[in-house]
Structure 1
Amino acid sequence: MASSVASSVASGTVDAKTLTGASTPFQSANYGVRNYSAPVKDSNGHDPANYKAAPVLPTWQFATSDPTGGKLTFEREVAPANGWHTWSRKGKVTVTGGSGATASRVYTVFNGQQLVAAINEAQNDPKIIRVVGHIDLRWSSNNTVFKEYTSYSDQKMGGSIMLPSNTTLVGINDAQGRPARITGTTILIGSELANGAVDAETGYKAWIAAGKDSEDYPTWTRNIIIRNLVIDAPWDVNPEDSANAYADAMTLSRAQNIWIDHVSMGDGDTPDSLASDTRHDGLLDIVRGSDYVTVNGSYFFKHHKTTLIGNGDSGRAWSDDGRLHVTLSNNFYDRLESRLPLNRYGQVHMFNNYIYGLTDSGVSADLKFGSGVDPRYKSNMLLENMYFEITALATDSFCKKAIDGGNGTNPIGFRSSGHQLLSNKGGNTTPIAWDGQCGYAVPTGANVWTPPYTYTLQTATAAKASVVANAGAGKLK
């Protein structure tokens, strides 16, 4: 499987690595370095009185040796041509990540400090980083010293990993077959930088006003592959307020050509029920002008705010309008509360996903389904052949649960067909065919789009069985 990148790049496409350069500055150096500062009250509402360490710690699965002996298998694979990640404003691309890494740019890491060191050494060079065991930036000294985050500042910078361009980050199953795991650590891909101006928006608008190509604006992070990892959403030790935490499990910001495959993401050992306020933010957010992203074969479970695509309405048009092309396919959304996804501006293609939710009385808050696909301001979505199974819910209520825009904001267009819908209400065990349009208008004229990539579409029923069997970390074939 370790074929050369040259032979793996599809005919007629370009290696996404060639899109990186001056427009993709290395941004990672200040991340992953703890400052152990005391909590302070700031203008964003981070009040020391609200500081609370994670009340439960996981059972650690630290490793000190590589069960593969360093042999590469799937690590050099490039991304398949079946999602928005294969496109760009400069034409068709192949996302290669770190597939072409030289021997000196292939790293096997067993702790957070080794992961940070690998990133800082390789910078934007093509690199493969293989995680074995359990990574958590709260541990240091070769996983022998543990210290909880001491403040918002300590967690924001010291508890985050920033992946640079041209990276393949993968988990390696241990000798017991368990996939590698990342806990207590936010994974960042990209950042919205000002490029010397007063703020990011001013800098970007000045660049465009000068007649320059937005693709050359120097804040992009591009060409990243993430596979076969369990990622636990961090517990926010000092959130903004009782309803808003800061730390996501993974955030894409001004990121392009990203392929996320066979990851498992949830709250891990620290569900929100362990606190009287909100201690988790998103699982996987795709925001701030990010574009050409595919998430497939992944498992999302037991979390409140799952995925946000576009994090604002009119105030974000300068960065998001015409961007946020995202594919979500063959994923398992299991006992989640909301945002599957919540979409503003995004041209989003969802197909062959399985959504399972519980609305039964007495179900704990960490498991109860609130809302699913959430089309909002200027979104334009295409949903095909998905399986919705939401327990104890009347059929005529599905359009307020499975698909609902919530605030009444207007999408550009919405198309939804080929689904199966199942509720066990009244002892029912038979799914029904459902188009799921839920009153939303289909796009017209120039707003009608067709995915510019090939993909295999299963029936909703076949997709459910396939997703349950194959989605998530540890299930790569």
Structure 2
Amino acid sequence: MAAPSHRRSLRSRRVLVVTAAAVAAGVGAGVVVMNANAGTVDLYHQTLAAKDGWASSGTGTTGGAKADAAHTFTVSTRAELVKALGSVTDTAPRIIKVKGTIDANTNDAGKKLSCADYAAGTGYALSSYLKEYDPAVHGRSKLPSGAQEKARAAAQTRQAKNIVFKVPANTSLVGVPGTAAGITGGMLQIQNVDNVIVRNLSFAATEDCFPQWDPTDGDDGNWNSAYDSVTLRGATHVWADHNTFTDAPHLDSANPRYYGREYQIHDGALDITKSSDLVTVSRNRFTDHDKTMLIGSSDSEPAGKLRVSLHHNVWKGIVQRAPLTRVGQVHIYDNYYDVTTLDGYATQYSINSRAKAQVVAEDNYWKVPAGGKVAKLLSGDGTGSVKGSGNLVNGTVTDVVAAYNAASSKKLKTTVNWTPTLTAGLETSAKDLPTTLATTTGAGVLK
């Protein structure tokens, strides 16, 4: 693909920012040009630049840039965040500035809540649950049902009411620089709404106190948890930028095993499902996680949606789904994948294309340790496509699709039915990504 004239390096990129102050003062058209690295950008009113991935398509993504004073909030507690979000039926533009770290597992008074608090009065006890659904007694042909499963579900519902934050349309959620801004233990739910921006936030320790046992999941059954750190379900025009996602401080290595399977309390980091569409995920850090990003919730998702751009992200200590793609048109460019085992998280694969997904993967950089197999960087079901170009492995241009196909019976198709045009920021060489992305991605680097 020839480099279009609007490409420019990440370091030299300049952005257009519409500031409330400029608009109020009537300065020109209210558009102020600012350097993204000069420390003068109004992060709260900043909108997605033109041609910056799929989320810039059509009406673009502006979040809460037009918020008035009554819909501009600074929050530091869970209760304040809930109040600022309001109702998902209220589509008035809003800006929510997150100052410091918000613990989702607290009550309205700020008291810390434990798993025991959510289970209190429901009748749920893990020991009883394990006894009742032991495969040796309950079998492996059906999901749990009965008193303990109802109690587990009731306790899980209690936790969900506390830790799931429902984001309305036309919202910008932005971390205040210099405050270690983020959410621990919570889930942002962006469901059936349009025009949302999430930036400069750290998401950590999103944990399900009450995973469900499913003996029919795979050959040996699995424990399945319910919460992603950020989940998009039927959402459109979403920009997730400069965020950090991690399991820490409770890593998967600390999870016990029951029925011979890991008691998994983590689900996705950032999942894009249920026909979500027009999404740009840029300059985030994903670390210490297993099932990281799901694009498409099932192989039967309808065609025409799930158009997603992923660029300038860092993936380190990721087991799988970086991302797993289904059905849609997905552009993956200028990402850095370090597949060295980290904190016990060993990579199974990075990119999976299945259910006829149409993936363009270009100018990405993989760091592969000695003994690592290039053929294992990709995965698929035999129906998905990956058109690759300019990808580097340890600094050497490598055809990662050919490497996978040479070793797999479920081969990836190498042509796609579309050509990316919304490619602002695309760098034609991946060689410097390990260095440049080390200091320009994740939460806390925006000023």
> Would you call these one fold, judging by a TM-score over 0.5?
yes
In 2, distance between residues paired with 1:341 and 1:437?
15
Alignment of 1:268 onto 2:248 = yes
Alignment of 1:372 onto 2:354 = no
Contact kept in structure 1, 2:207 and 2:227, CA below 8 Å: yes
In 2, distance between residues paired with 1:86 and 1:350?
16
2:371 corresponds to which residue?
A: 393
In 2, distance between residues paired with 1:101 and 1:389?
43
Contact kept in structure 2, 1:186 and 1:233, CA below 8 Å: no
Structure 1 residues 164 and 144, CA gap change in structure 2 (3 angstroms): same
Q: CA deviation at 1:243?
A: 2.9
In 1, distance between residues paired with 2:159 and 2:113?
14
Letter in 2 for 1:225: I
In 2, distance between residues paired with 1:104 and 1:221?
21
Alignment of 1:246 onto 2:226 = yes
Q: Give CA deviations for 1:9-66 in whole Å, capped at 9, x if unaligned.
A: 99xxxxxxxxxxxxxxxxxxxxxxxxxxxxxxxxxxxxxxxxxxxxxxxxxxxxxxxx
Contact kept in structure 1, 2:205 and 2:249, CA below 8 Å: no
Q: Give CA deviations for 1:339-392 in whole Å, capped at 9, x if unaligned.
A: 010001121001110000125xxx653x21111111111100101111101213
Letter in 2 for 1:224: V
Letter in 2 for 1:169: L
User: Aligned pairs, how many?
Assistant: 358
Structure 1 residues 275 and 165, CA gap change in structure 2 (3 angstroms): same
Matches within 5 A, 1:158-169: 158-169=162-173
Which structure features the higher share of strand residues? Answer: 2
Find the partner of 1:436 among 400, 411, 414.
400
1:403 corresponds to which residue?
A: 378
Find the partner of 2:48 among 79, 99, 124.
79
In 1, distance between residues paired with 2:351 and 2:305?
19
Find the partner of 1:140 among 104, 107, 114.
107
In 2, distance between residues paired with 1:339 and 1:121?
32
1:3 corresponds to which residue?
A: 19
Alignment of 1:232 onto 2:207 = no
**SS of equivalent to 1:302:** strand
**SS of equivalent to 1:468:** coil
**SS of equivalent to 1:335:** strand
**SS of equivalent to 2:378:** coil
Q: CA deviation at 1:323?
A: 0.6
**SS of equivalent to 2:265:** coil
Letter in 2 for 1:247: Y
Q: Give CA deviations for 1:81-100 in whole Å, capped at 9, x if unaligned.
A: 2110011xxxx223110011
**SS of equivalent to 2:319:** coil
Letter in 1 for 2:421: P
RMSD: 2.4
Taking structure 2 as the reference length, the TM-score comes to 0.75
Contact kept in structure 1, 2:316 and 2:337, CA below 8 Å: yes
Q: CA deviation at 1:475?
A: 0.8
Letter in 2 for 1:76: H
In 2, distance between residues paired with 1:470 and 1:450?
24
Matches within 5 A, 1:202-351: 220-241=192-213, 242-276=222-256, 277-314=263-300, 316-317=301-302, 321-351=303-333
1:188 corresponds to which residue?
A: 189
2:10 corresponds to which residue?
A: none
Letter in 1 for 2:433: A
2:94 corresponds to which residue?
A: 127
Contact kept in structure 2, 1:285 and 1:308, CA below 8 Å: yes
1:459 corresponds to which residue?
A: 429
Structure 1 residues 233 and 364, CA gap change in structure 2 (3 angstroms): closer
Taking structure 1 as the reference length, the TM-score comes to 0.71
Contact kept in structure 2, 1:264 and 1:472, CA below 8 Å: yes
Letter in 1 for 2:101: H
Letter in 2 for 1:282: G
Structure 1: give runs of 5+ residues left out of the alignment.
11-70, 191-219, 423-430
1:214 corresponds to which residue?
A: none
Q: Give CA deviations for 1:152-205 in whole Å, capped at 9, x if unaligned.
A: 1112232100101000001113xxx34202011111000xxxxxxxxxxxxxxx
1:384 corresponds to which residue?
A: 362
In 1, distance between residues paired with 2:423 and 2:343?
41
Structure 1 residues 83 and 452, CA gap change in structure 2 (3 angstroms): closer
Q: Give CA deviations for 1:285-340 in whole Å, capped at 9, x if unaligned.
A: 000010000000100000101100001113x33xxx11100000000001111101
2:73 corresponds to which residue?
A: 107
Contact kept in structure 1, 2:288 and 2:343, CA below 8 Å: no
Q: Percent identity?
A: 31
Q: CA deviation at 1:433?
A: 1.3
Structure 2: give runs of 5+ residues left out of the alignment.
1-16, 24-28, 34-39, 120-154, 214-221, 257-262, 406-411
**SS of equivalent to 1:304:** strand
Contact kept in structure 1, 2:101 and 2:180, CA below 8 Å: no
